[in-house]
Amino acid sequence: MRNSATALGMIGGILALIMGIISFGYTELTAQEDIRNLDFLPLPDNPELLRAMSVIAPLLAIAGAGMARYRALWGGLLLLVAALAIYMTFNNFFAIFPAAMCGLAAILAIAAGRPDKEHSHF
């Protein structure tokens, strides 16, 4: 379960990274005065939050996926926070896939939280 949590978390993190790059670029494009006057481009409500989550959420997902093999509980919590951040911030059709992959990876990592060896999680 830890290996599948790692794989799903990496795929979800990479998809979130691609979505974040596009979102960050779109907010930079709409910040220009020439583009802002055009009526056919919708302006984001909170571009600062969108820019911040475009960077933070993929980093949380990739870091959580990297930790899922050896620290399953911590990795699962990071993946869960990343899934919630992706879903709540982007909230569109394309955000479903990375959020679902990170969420499933979080469930798998937390479910595999019992250590293989007898040592503490923390």
pLDDT of residue 115: 60
DSSP 42: P
**Across the 122 residues of the chain, what is the mean pLDDT of every consecutive 10-residue run?**
92 95 91 74 85 95 93 93 94 91 94 67 56
C-alpha span between 106 and 2 (Å, rounded)? 10
Question: Which distant-in-sequence residues (6+ apart) come within 8 Å of 106 by Cβ?
Answer: 5, 9, 64, 76, 77, 79, 80, 82, 83
pLDDT of residue 32: 81
Q: What is the pLDDT of residue 18?
A: 95
Residue-level pLDDT at 116: 55
User: How far is the C-alpha of 91 from the C-alpha of 71, rounded, in Å?
Assistant: 29
Token duo for residue 47: 């571009």
Domain ranges of the chain: 2-111
Q: Rounded to two decimals, what is the model's pTM? A: 0.85
